[in-house]
A and B are shown apart, each in its own frame.
Chain A
Amino acid sequence: MDEIGNIIIFLFDWLDGFSPRAVILAATAISAGFAMIAGIGPGIGQGFAAGKGAEAVGDNQENSGNVTLVMLLGSAVAETSGIFSLVVALILLYANPLVGNEAAAIVVAASVLGAGLAMIAGIGPGIGQGFAAGKGAERVGQRPEYQNVVVKVMLLGQAVGQTTGIYALVIALILLFANPLFALL
């Protein structure tokens, strides 16, 4: 265990050699990168929806309008995790609220890193909502007269699935804008 302790102390000593502003800005850059990893989710989900939509149109060519509508509605909802991540990354880069903060540099840098890491949670809702969109499009192709019910159930399920993404966004925004850790220092 001594080796691990030494490495951590070595890392903190090394970081102390820089000005606090530089450490915080470096953490911002890495954090913006982490936040964008959530883009994997909507990509897979919406691709699944497109594939299922194509399959449904092949089986039920006369219902292609309904299939397209449901697929695109579902895909648009699946997009929102990607948008949240993009907004957090842009806030971090262009409107960083913690840059001039006078508290200990390590805590501020860790908060900024944590905000970015939290947004990785956008992968889940992206994939899940895209799956819902694909299945909805498939069923509407087979039963176009149930389109309203299918859309309602799909949107309801997608809204419930979004909640973990919202939790992540709330934590990231708390860490950036209303950080409770600085008062404890």
Chain B
Amino acid sequence: MKEVKETKILVLKGVALLNIVLILLMLIFFDLRSAYGIFIGSLIGVINFHLLSLSLQKAVKLEPTKAGFYAFIQYIIRYILWFLVFYIALKRPDVNILTTIVGMLSVKVVILVINVFNLYPLKRKFSRKEVS
């Protein structure tokens, strides 16, 4: 489904851009731990987004009730993934948990900004010669 793929690439670019800005800010004003936290949070956010898109593409091919259950089970699997990521982030002393939360939210912020300000790339228009 190519619209889905285009959207994913666009969101990925937006998250990368936002990350560069945030990581630079963190390095200037805070320490390395915070920057690492943002990187980890955004990375897992993007992976989560990718897994979500795969599961939804499979879910729409099922019947409605089965699709609902399938999406619910996939959500639980992704929840466990988040559990592991945050557990590792909390246990390692070189990652700040609060900035990991900020990194996790960056996917959502990028989605909202792209859609509210309509930053979708314009499709190239073909000019047609009028034949009269």
| Complex: A in contact with B (CB within 8 Å) | yes
Instruction: Kindly state the separation between the CA atoms of A130 and B125 in the bound complex, as whole angstroms.
Output: 37
- Chain A residue with the shortest CB-CB distance to B3: A64
Residues of chain B with a CB closer than 8 A to A68's CB: 115
Instruction: Kindly state the separation between the CA atoms of A109 and B39 in the bound complex, as whole angstroms.
Output: 38
Interface residues of B in 104-122 (CB under 8 A from A): 111-112, 115-116, 118, 120
Residues of chain B with a CB closer than 8 A to A73's CB: 116
Interface residues of B in 88-114 (CB under 8 A from A): 111-112
Interface residue count for A (Cβ, 8 Å)? 6
Instruction: Kindly state the separation between the CA atoms of A73 and B115 in the bound complex, as whole angstroms.
Output: 9
Instruction: Kindly state the separation between the CA atoms of A73 and B112 in the bound complex, as whole angstroms.
Output: 8
Q: A76 to B118, Cβ gap below 8 A?
A: no
Residues of chain A with a CB closer than 8 A to B116's CB: 69, 72-73
Interface residues of A in 26-81 (CB under 8 A from B): 65, 68-69, 72-73, 76
Interface residue count for B (Cβ, 8 Å)? 6
Q: How many interface contacts (CB-CB < 8 Å) are there between A and B? A: 12
Instruction: Kindly state the separation between the CA atoms of A65 and B116 in the bound complex, as whole angstroms.
Output: 10
Residues of chain A with a CB closer than 8 A to B111's CB: 72
Residues of chain B with a CB closer than 8 A to A72's CB: 111-112, 115-116
Residues of chain B with a CB closer than 8 A to A76's CB: 112
- Chain B residue with the shortest CB-CB distance to A64: B3
- 5 A–B contact pairs at CB < 8 A? A65-B120, A69-B118, A72-B111, A72-B112, A72-B115
Residues of chain A with a CB closer than 8 A to B118's CB: 65, 69
| Nearest 3 CB-CB pairings of A with B | A72-B115, A76-B112, A69-B115
- Chain A residue with the shortest CB-CB distance to B101: A86
Could you list 9 further interchain pairs (A-B, Cβ under 8 angstroms) beyond the known A65-B120, A72-B111, A73-B116? Answer: A65-B118, A68-B115, A69-B115, A69-B116, A69-B118, A72-B112, A72-B115, A72-B116, A76-B112
- Chain B residue with the shortest CB-CB distance to A58: B60
Residues of chain A with a CB closer than 8 A to B112's CB: 72, 76
Interface residues of B in 47-80 (CB under 8 A from A): none
Instruction: Kindly state the separation between the CA atoms of A121 and B2 in the bound complex, as whole angstroms.
Output: 41
